[in-house]
Structure 1
Amino acid sequence: PGGVGRQLLQKPTPAPAQHPPVRYPLTGEPRILFWAQNFSVVQGSKWVDLTSQTFGAEASVDVSGSSWSSNDSRLVLKYANVLGSPLTATFHMTSRWFPVSGRDWFQLNRLELATPSARPTVFNASQVTAPSNYSWHCAHLSSLPGFGAGLRGHGPSPSWGVLLQDVQVPAGTPGFSPGSGRGSGREGLGGVLAGACLDEPFPPP
């Protein structure tokens, strides 16, 4: 009985903290939105977790270099100091009309990581695509084989690696709620997302 009592008094495990997405522009109607539970980069054997610098009230990332148009957008994330040097992560996105489906589709064409003293590391991300009124949601988007890969490096061995966990990438449509989709919250998607990537409608405003 004593053991049962102690178990009942234990605090429940808290759910992972939810942070707001990165948005561009910072005020007014958002045109680009990006969210991930974890955003990390690696150079050699040195990992850097950029999550707290990217999302939430304490975020220090600079998005002022971003741009948006109806068919070509860039989300530019500038970090002042990553492993002793400024780092810029640029998400290149396009939107195209497909007559067969009768709708616009957005695509994350590539992701670039650049420092002032070296050539950019470029990853092809063309499989990240969904109707423009949907968001693309995946358990992992990474350049590392141990995490499902998905990002393919251009040229010789890339100097950087990328890991995005529980990532959601919509572009150009307001009304985004991280972790939401198909009328359900994050809890409803948790089991589905293990190894799966989904096109998810934006929740109603």
Structure 2
Amino acid sequence: MASRRTVQRSRFPAAWAVLLGLLSLLHVGKGGEQVPLLLWTSEGISLPSQSPPTAGHIVGQQQLASYLEKALSVGPRNVVLFLQDKMSIEDFTMYGGAFGNKQDSVFPNLEGALMSSSSPLVLPSVSWPASNAMIGQLQDQLETSPLYMDPETLSQLRLNASSPALLVFRLPYGIGADLVSVKEILSGNDEVIGQVLSIMKTQSVPYTAIYTALQPSREAASLSMEAAVGGGRSLLQARGGYRERERERQQRIKERARIYAPVEFKEGENTCILLWAKRLSVGIQQSGYWEHHDLTPSTFGEGVSPKLHGSSCDKTKAKLVLNYENVLGCSSFKLIFAMSQRHYKVSARRWFTLDAVELECNGTKATFNGSRNIYAPAEYSYRCESVTSFRWPLLIPRSPKDPANQWRVSFEDFQIQGFNVSGSDFSYASDCAGFFSPGIWMGLMTSLLMVLVLTYGLHMIMQLRTMDRFDDPKGPAISVPQTE
């Protein structure tokens, strides 16, 4: 018993050093773009030491794969993956017990697991596209399919140490009207982690556990910053440059919220194509999972001048070519918008249409045909809140065998004009939203139902008939003859 207590006490400072290591790297990177990742093994299992990344370094997809490969090559191949919807490093600093106040921590089970593990690995800044692709990497390394489970299902499953398994537990994350709701959700997630680890312990099967998220919780990040400023966190404010960094962060947020100018292509001195979007993103399917890339920072913003070589325009055809580098494994990547205008006799006017959106990756083209809904009068611009190829698609792959079936495109707050451009401003926008919105349809259907009920009630009232004979109490009673 004495030796066991000595081991437990020796692990305690090391575990807290790991948690405090999270905090030392907290404000170096851009917390709104990365997610943390925690890896540990069951008690009694040791892994080869892996040096954490340097301060400010963001772990990408390839580096994360190397970390996982090194851990699984020696450690247990029964992997328990806790995948939260959203998470940021600020969740630990705001709700964890790393500041010594263990009673306020909402991660007692997680902290206990890190303390009991002899070789935990903490990666404070992992790019969220890398965390999204992690299930595919684990699937390839373990050569098994993921099993999405809950604690009740796990209790009925019998695991084998010699047979690898990938158990995935999805954990929610949400921000309500106050901070208590976030704390309650994280506390509930920690209870789920505790239940799963207890079941794994009863089965006496060694395992490797991973806790990370799909996306960063930017709302939580901003809330934790405000709490750090107002709550007087001395550890975060020890360095004199903290307030300066906070002002710089707020300035970056204001710059991102600023309305940037559209992409403008000129033929000679005259502008002939304008493009604007709140967000441009593309995605590709690799190993059964989607990996996305945001093209907005490389396309719009102050000081950003996208390469437009290959673009052209005339009176009937217009083509806008956006050229990029190093996008989703493509050293040369192009996003092409092909438009045309023609005269329609039925409407007696000219209309322009977005015929196709093409993606070109290292010379290989993927073509999405524009649906019939992407059109506008030739004197107008076209605007739509969402133009995608996968959710209520307006862009459709050209054929079932086209490479476009492996790609996704998504444009938010999208506006484009390829003809009759006057100056550097868009003409009047023809919006893709129909006249009958869902709210209008609901109102019409409710009104129609009420009219039908009223009509049926009036019909029933009109069918009522009065009795032609009444029983007079002052006169003789009405006798009804009875027959036997």
| Bin for the TM-score computed over the shorter chain | 0.7 to 0.9
Identity of aligned residues (%): 32
* Greater percentage in strand: 1
The aligned counterpart of 2:307 is 62
Amino acid at match of 2:433: A
Amino acid at match of 1:43: I
Q: Please identify runs of 4+ aligned residues in structure 1 that moved more than 6 A.
A: none
User: Deviation at 1:55?
Assistant: 1.5
Q: Does 1:130 align with 2:130?
A: no
Q: Does 1:149 align with 2:393?
A: yes
Amino acid at match of 2:396: R
Cα distance in structure 2, aligned partners of 1:129 and 1:109: 9
Decide which of 16, 20, 26 is 2:261's aligned counterpart: 20
Decide which of 345, 356, 359 is 1:99's aligned counterpart: 345
Amino acid at match of 1:104: R
**Pair 1:197–1:57, CA change in 2 (3 A):** farther
The aligned counterpart of 2:417 is 170
Decide which of 267, 270, 275 is 1:34's aligned counterpart: 275
Computing the radius of gyration from Cα coordinates, the structure with the larger value is 2
Give SS of 1:130's match.
strand
Cα shift readout 1:14-61 (whole Å, capped 9, x = no counterpart): 794311111112872210111111100011221111011112233352
Deviates more, 1:15-24 or 1:88-97: 15-24
Compute the TM-score of the two structures, normalised by the length of structure 1: 0.74
Decide which of 188, 196, 199 is 2:433's aligned counterpart: 196
* Greater percentage in helix: 2
Q: Does 1:78 align with 2:323?
A: yes
Cα distance in structure 1, aligned partners of 2:291 and 2:349: 43
Unaligned regions of 5+ residues in structure 1, if any?
A: 1-12, 183-192, 199-205
User: Deviation at 1:167?
Assistant: 0.5
The aligned counterpart of 1:52 is 297
**Pair 1:76–1:106, CA change in 2 (3 A):** same
Give SS of 1:31's match.
strand
**Pair 1:95–1:117, CA change in 2 (3 A):** closer
Residues 352 and 376, structure 2, Cα contact 8 Å, conserved in 1: yes
Cα distance in structure 1, aligned partners of 2:341 and 2:363: 32
Residues 263 and 275, structure 2, Cα contact 8 Å, conserved in 1: yes
Deviates more, 1:162-171 or 1:108-117: 108-117
Amino acid at match of 2:259: Q
Mapping of 1:111-122 within 5 angstroms?
111-116=357-362, 118=364, 120-122=365-367
User: Deviation at 1:121?
Assistant: 1.3
User: Deviation at 1:155?
Assistant: 2.2
**Pair 1:75–1:117, CA change in 2 (3 A):** closer
Cα distance in structure 2, aligned partners of 1:59 and 1:27: 21
Residues 30 and 173, structure 1, Cα contact 8 Å, conserved in 2: no
**Pair 1:96–1:163, CA change in 2 (3 A):** same
Unaligned regions of 5+ residues in structure 2, if any?
A: 1-252, 436-484
Cα distance in structure 2, aligned partners of 1:43 and 1:130: 30
